[in-house]
Each structure stands twice: as structure tokens, then as C-alpha cells.
Amino acid sequence: MARVAKKAKAAEPEKPIVITEQPITATLRENYMPYAMSSIISRAIPEIDGMKPSHRKLLYTMYRMGLLNGPRTKSANVVGETMKLNPHGDAAIYETMVRLTRGNEALLHPFVDSKGSFGKQYSKMAYAASRYTEVKLAPICAELFSGIEKDAVDMVDSYDARMKEPVLLPTTFPNILVCPNTGIAVGLASSICSFNLNETCDAVIALIKDPNADLYEILKAPDFSTGGMILYDREEMQQIYETGKGGFTVRAVWHTIPRENRIVITEIPYNTTVDQIIDKILQLIKEGKLREISDVRDEIDLEGLKLVIDYKRGSDPDKLMAKLLKATDLECRFPCNFNVLISGTPYQLGVRELLTEWHAFRCECLKREIFYDLTQKKDKLHLLLGLEKILVDIDKAIAIIRKTENERDVIPNLEKGFRIDTLQAEYIAEIKLRHLNREYILARTSEKEKLEKEIAELEAILSSSKKLDQYLIRQLNEIKKKYGQERKTKIAYEFDRPTNVLLSAAKEEYRAFAVMTAEGYLKNIPLKSIQMSDNHKLKENDHIVFSGEMSSKEELLFFTDKAQTYKARFEDFSTTKASELGDYVPAKLEMEKDERVVFSCPANGYQGKLVIVFENGKGVALPLSAYETKSNRKKLTGAFSAASRPVAMFVVQKNEVKELFFRTKLGRACILRTTLVPEKATRSSIGVQLMALKKNDAILSCEEVNTAENDALAVYKKPRIPTPGVPYTGKK
């Protein structure tokens, strides 16, 4: 049998890859921006009702399930139903529910009445699975949904268009400030602290009566479910209230049991947990920075939070707590960033603006609700007016119905017989035969006067913003009576901050050789090493500005080109050799980007003064004590005037006189004594004019000289300021 070779199929030529260039702006607009806006609008940022979409969908689902008045149901049932509105996984939905429960204690006024283990806001304790826990809506949720059945808010299609859901909840109190909210979107974040319900309602009432009311006397400070103590700073609160951005300090609450050598912490800041605090304390103990503590443990029970610290006999509990406040989250900052969606647009609003926006939103909800009630009552009154007309002759109405041969003619015949419209005729025709008696009809029509009075009241409210505000004030006062509670977070107007607390592990004091360079390098050289070699390695064009022996506890000052001062101890820098560059100070002290050191010196107990010469010919002497702080601050802003660039700085001790040699760009020079430079108390002072400069001239350099050792310098010496100087001959 002959073999027939199959003809190989010709390979198809590969299609060339076409690369289409697209401007980065188009990519951002078409791909990135829709994603960013979706995360901002549909996920992370709350709206004026105080709810994120996930909260709103969950609570509305529970409302539709009848859980406002009915018994509790398994959390798994709620999670499953919520997935019809919220296209996310069950874990995300259940986690949202956990935070809203009474058991979790995250909210001042929980929205979900719970049964089972839901963890705690102040602990990493895990919550039970949804199949084990039970939930229903808390009574306060009646205020969230008040008027929702009366067209108080718009309803829109769900994501699959199978059901309707509210755009916002018509909450009857300013939930935006009562319920804490934190969210991170793309390029935008929101962090809203909670406030006391009574104070918030009072603030709205005060703003209704007087838009310029002093909120600081009414809405005193935030209030958290975990309690704690706010260290009140009026300037910080003013910034938050006016701009919606800032922060404040919250401190734990504790008491000491001396006979048991025990500290019991019962309240901690809202934005931390017991576990984080314990982990930090254990770390400090391991590092040898807290030798006073013998044991620390979590004793949370049915009564609530309890963190117990046992301290060693002989230890001072007050000093120990000062260390803990400084080193752990027992005292921490709560950042505020009041970003809120208003009509789908994110805004950063202060407290006054938020309450004003909520007032406008609530008034609109009330108008819609009242208009709905008004329409219903008018329709009912209209029917009763028709029913009243048959009182004239009930027998006539019966006769019309009996004599009508066709059912479809009953309504038209009643309309003609009593001169009523179709709606009234249908209402009369549907009355049962047993009710066609004078007593029944009189009882029904007697409601007419009551309806007319109610209609008149509703119309008066709708037509008058003042009456609408009075109606809203009555609602807010009723809410205060039903749900108001005392503050949980205390306010400390006068308080002590932990200052000068040693938290580092004990280190023995030693002496070493310090070398500082103009480019910002510092060397901590052991004395033995410097004796073996003093040949210092420096970067190209760098030079030494200070060298000498000093104590490891000595504080060092570093002045930068951004008019800031950084402080550090000599022992904070690693030991090195003369043959190495040493630590780069801007990196070691975490200075700002592009910030460089222009001068450095030992603090020397903050004795003496700092003489600064500026490029514009001015100079000032500042006491070194102006840079001394009670707290261990590492950075001081506004270290000196930023009006002109500093050319040189010199430290002058008491009774010491230095001679400074000035040179200008246009070739002038002079020598002035430091005693001519006046001393100023404030760091921001620019000082006085030392050299009188011509237009386009500036100080080029300033350095220390000694005229006693160089007779050629005598020509440059000037006894008074300001001086124009003399032409520079090049001799120095």
C-alpha cells in the first residue's frame, strides 16, 4: 500500500501587536476616576444621615424583616437577606453588623439589640459566628425610620433592580455626630468622633434659635462609648468645630489600690484596645524600660473593661503612670477629618456646618412627611364630605342602588343623585348594608371637624418655616427624654502632662569626643579611639564646625534652613571612628525632605546666647534658653526668623566677646563685636541692621576673627551699627 504524504498546512503569519498610545490623563479619567468615585460615594464616606451604604442597607433590611418590634432572629438570616441589597460577601456584612450591636459597645447608642458574643470595641476578642448569635433592631431605630413609609426620603432601585431601598434614612436626630464613623476611600478619608445625644440635640435647637450661638458652651466636647478623659484644649476644639479637621488627646481613666500595689485601668481611649496596650507594656518591660511592673493582665468581665497592672513594692504609681501615658496608647490622639457626602459630593465641614446641613435635610424630610399626611387627610375628608351628603336622604341612596339594573351604572347614578364625584360614589357604594344607618354615618361624619382642624395645622406648618422649626424642636426634646444619657467621656480642663519622663533603658553616663561638620555629619568617637587617630574622614568640600569632648547626656541643637531646631542627646548617635563619616543628622533625626543643617552646637545647659547673621545685613542675639523645653520635644518650629536666609550662627557665652568679620557680594567688609548685636526675647525677631547694604548687595560670609593677632584687620573694625563697611582689599 502506497503511503500518501499529507501536505503540511502552511503556518499562518503572526498578527502584529498594535500598541495604541493613550495620554495618562485619559487613563486616569476613564479608568482610575470611576473607581475612586465609586469607593468615595458607595463605600467609605458617610452621608448626612450618618450612615455609610453598608450600614443603611443592613438596617433597612432588618426593618423590612419586621425586627423593629418582633423577636430576635439569627444573625445569619439577616446577613442572607442583606445580600439582596448589598452585593458583598457575608463576612463583610456580618462585620458591619457586629459594630452596630449593643454587645460590641462601639456606639453610644447601639442600633442593634444583640444576644450572644459580639466581641468588644476595646478588645481584640473575636466575635461568634453568625449562626450562633441573634439580633433585632434597638428601639432608637424607630427614629431612624420615622416617616420612611410616608415618602420622607427618595427610594431607588437596588443593584439588581428587584426591590427598592432608601437613598438616605430620615433620622430624626443628628446621627452624623452621634454615631462615630471612620472610612478610607481613594484619596479621601473620613474620621468623625461621636458626641453626646443630649448635647447634640441642644446644639441644633440653639442654632435654630440663633445661627450664631456659642456651640462651645453647649456641645462641650466629643463623647465616646469607651469613656476615657479628653484633655481639653480650646484651640484644638475650635479648629475642629470650625474646619472639621484636627485632633485632640484622650487619656485612660484609672485608680490605684496602694495596699495591693495595683493600678486598675477601667476606661481607655476609643481608638485603641487593651491588647495593644498590653503588648506595648510587655515590649517595654522586655527592653528594660519599665522595671517597676511585676505583672500586667486583662481582667475584662461582665462589668466591663479592666486592665490590671501590679507594680513592685517601693515604686511610685504616679511616676509609673506618667511613663505609661507617654509610652503607650493609654494616652493618644484622636484624629478628626469630617468629610461627609452632601448630595453625592464630598465636603469637609465643621460642626456648625454639619448641624446646619442636617437641619436643612431634616426640614425637607419633615415637609415631605407632613405633605404625605396632609394628602391622606384631605382624601379622607373628601370621602366624608360625600358620605355626609347621603345623610339628607339615606332611603334615596338605597333606592338608587336597588333600582339600578346594571352594576356598572351604580356609581354614575349615585353621582347624579347626590352631585358627588366618582371617588365619593365608590366609597358610598362599598359601605356594607348593615352600616347604612344614621348612627354609623353620623359617627363617621363627626370626624370631619377633627380632620379639618388637623389639615389646617399641617398647612400652617408647611407654609411657615418658623412653625416647622418649632415642630422639629419638639421632636428633638422628645428624643432627649426617651434616649438621652449622661456623658461617658470626662473632660479635663486642667491637667498634667507627663514631662521629663525617662523611658529609655538605663544607660551609664560616659564621655566621648564629638565632631560636627558643616554638611550635617556627627561623629560619636570613644576617647580611646580618638587618641589612636585624629585623622578625620570628611566628604568633599565639608569641614568641621565643632569638635570637643562632651558627656553622653549632653543635648545637641541642630538648626536647619527651614527655620526649625531639632534636639537630640549625644548618646543617641552611634559610636564610630575618626576614619568614618559618622551619622547623617537629617536622616537620623527624620528631618523633612530637602531640609539640611545650617548650624549645630551643644546646648551647654542652655547658657549663653545664639547670634544669627542674616543675608539682608541684619542680625539678632537670642538666648539659648529660648530653645529649652519642659517636655522631651524633638523638634521646634519657628526657631528663628524666616524673613531672610541665615548666613552664619555663633554661640556666645556670658561675658564673652567675639569679633565677626563680614563680607558682602559687592566687595564691602567690616568687623563688628557681638556686643553690638542686641538680644531679643522672641525667636521670630529679625533683629537690627548691622551693615547698611546698597541695592542688590547681600552678606556673602561671616566668620569669627581675632584682631589682636592680626594688625591688618584693624581697618575693618567698626564701633557702631549700622555701618556701610569699607572696600575689601583681600587682606584678612
Q: Can you read off the three cell numbers belonging to residue 255?
A: 485608680
pLDDT for the residue 176: 95
Residue 450 burial (10 A CB sphere; 0-12, 13-18, 19+): exposed
Cell of 76: 445569619
Check residue 715 and give left, alpha or beta (phi > 0: left; psi -120 to 50: alpha). Answer: alpha
* pLDDT score at 500: 54
Q: Is the dihedral of CA 652, 658, 661, 664 positive or negative?
A: positive
Instruction: With beta carbons less than 8 A apart as the criterion, state whether 558 and 585 touch.
Output: yes
Alpha helices in 484-543 (DSSP H): 527-532
Q: pLDDT tens, 140-186?
A: 999 999 999 999 999 999 888 889 999 999 999 999 999 999 888 77
Going from N- to C-terminal start, the domains of the chain cover 48-171, 253-329, 357-483, 507-602, 606-621+638-732
CA angle 203, 206, 212 (to 5 degrees): 105
The list of the chain residues with pLDDT below 70 reads 1-13, 497-508, 532-534, 630-632, 731-732
Parallel, antiparallel or unpaired: strands 164-166 and 181-184: unpaired
CATH architecture for segment(s) 48-171: Alpha-Beta Complex (3.90)
Between CA 333 and CA 324 the distance in angstroms is: 15
pTM, full prediction: 0.67
The residue to which cell 418655616 is assigned: 465
CB-based burial, 101-132: b 16+ in 10 Å, e otherwise: bbbbbbbbbbbbbbebbbbbbbbebebeebee
311 labelled catalytic: no
**What separation, in Å, do the N-terminal and C-terminal C-alpha atoms of the chain show?**
114
Which among 32, 35, 132, 493 is annotated as catalytic?
Answer: 132
pLDDT in tens, 676-726: 999 988 888 889 999 999 988 999 999 988 888 888 888 899 989 999 989
Query: Distance of CA 154 to CAs 74, 148, 503, Å?
Result: 30, 9, 57
Q: Which of these, 323, 321, 313, 329, lies nearest to 255 by C-alpha position? A: 321
Taking CA atoms, 516 is separated from 25, 459, 622, in Å, by 48, 82, 22
| Domain 606-621+638-732, CATH number (from 3.30.413.10, 2.120.10.90, 3.50.50.60, 3.20.20.140) | 2.120.10.90
What is the CATH architecture of 357-483?
Answer: Orthogonal Bundle (1.10)
- Rg of the chain, C-alpha, whole Å: 39
For the segment(s) 253-329, the CATH number from 3.30.1360.40, 3.40.50.300, 1.10.12.10, 3.40.1350.10 is 3.30.1360.40
- Strand pairing category for 229-231 and 490-492: parallel
How high is the pLDDT of residue 12?
62
CA distances from 290 to 268, 269, 322 (A): 20, 22, 11
According to DSSP, the residues that pair with 526 across neighbouring strands are 512
